[in-house]
């Protein structure tokens, strides 16, 4: 089977021994991939922050913030599975990026959006034109399909392993690799 290409709506799974500490055991959701480069959000790196920690006007519920990547960590991004949010950008089957933030805040305040529907990120992951393709050729990343139920229903602390297990075969075996093989 030929290797998959990065594309909007795909997952980038860090190979088990990727030496870049920014992406160790990370899974990145690709929001945009074109001739200018790639924009994505790390789906499984939690922070000690909550949404209310970065908002001037707190919302009724405080959702955890995830580290979307090492770039511009003073920016807020979100992925969701809410097709009715205005100005959302479709990035996969029932997956949306961004949208009308005031509408989101309003719906959070009345309990119409839950943590199972949306994920907030500070910062993002970015690659210049051709950079991600080079990294994939060096086997730094594995590409997988993404779907909303799996993304939002899988615990983030198990996400990297769960994606590889779901892919099966050699990837399932990779999911058991130790973080530091010298400790094995």
The pLDDT of residue 1: 44
Rounded to 5 degrees, what are φ and ψ at 173? -65, -45
Strand partners of residue 39: 32, 126
Q: Which fold has domain 11-177?
A: VC0467-like (3.40.1740)
pLDDT in tens, 5-52: 899 999 999 998 777 888 989 999 999 999 999 999 999 999 999 999
Decide: pTM greater than 0.85. Answer: yes
**pLDDT of 55-94, one tens digit each?**
998 899 889 999 999 999 999 999 999 999 999 999 999 9
Q: Which of 55-69, 89-103, 121-135, 170-184 has the lowest mean pLDDT?
A: 170-184
- Where helices occur in 17-168 by DSSP H, the ranges are 51-54, 101-109, 131-137, 148-153, 159-167
Q: List the chain domain ranges.
A: 11-177
- 53 φ/ψ angles, rounded to the nearest 5 degrees: -70, -20
Q: How confident is the model at residue 158 (pLDDT cuts 50, 70, 90)?
A: very high
Quote the pLDDT of residue 2. Answer: 45
Quote the CA–CA distance of 49 and 100 in Å, as a whole number. 22
Residue 180's pLDDT band (cuts 50, 70, 90): low
Express each pLDDT in 101-116 by its tens digit: 999 999 999 999 998 9
54-61 CB contacts, 8 Å cutoff, 24+ apart: 54/122, 55/105, 57/105, 59/105, 59/108, 59/109, 60/108, 60/109, 60/110, 60/111, 61/108, 61/109, 61/111
Predicted local confidence at residue 179, as pLDDT: 63
Q: What pLDDT shows up at residue 149?
A: 94
Q: Would you call 79 exposed, middle or buried from its count of C-beta atoms within 10 A (0-12, 13-18, 19+)?
A: buried
pLDDT of residue 47: 96
Contact by Cβ (8 Å): 168, 161: no
Question: How many residues make up the chain in this entry?
Answer: 184
- State how far the Cα of 122 lies from the Cα of 139, in Å rounded to an integer: 27
């Amino acid at each position: 089977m030929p290797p998959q290409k990065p594309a909007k709506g795909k997952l980038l799974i860090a190979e088990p021994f990727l030496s870049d500490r920014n992406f160790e055991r990370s899974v990145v959701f690709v929001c945009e991939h074109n001739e200018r480069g790639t924009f994505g959000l790390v789906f499984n790196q939690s922070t000690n922050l909550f949404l209310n920690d970065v908002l001037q006007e707190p919302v009724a519920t405080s959702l955890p913030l995830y580290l979307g990547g090492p770039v511009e960590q003073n920016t807020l991004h979100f992925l969701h599975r809410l097709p009715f949010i205005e100005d959302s950008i479709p990035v996969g089957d029932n997956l949306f990026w961004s949208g009308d933030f005031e509408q989101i805040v309003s719906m959070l305040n009345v309990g119409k959006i839950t943590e199972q529907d949306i994920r907030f990120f500070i910062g993002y992951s970015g690659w210049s034109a051709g950079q991600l393709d080079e990294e994939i050729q060096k086997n730094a990343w594995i590409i997988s399909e993404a779907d909303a139920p799996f993304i939002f229903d899988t615990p983030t602390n198990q996400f990297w392993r769960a994606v590889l297990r779901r892919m099966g075969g050699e990837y399932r075996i990779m999911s058991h690799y130790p973080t530091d093989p010298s400790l094995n």
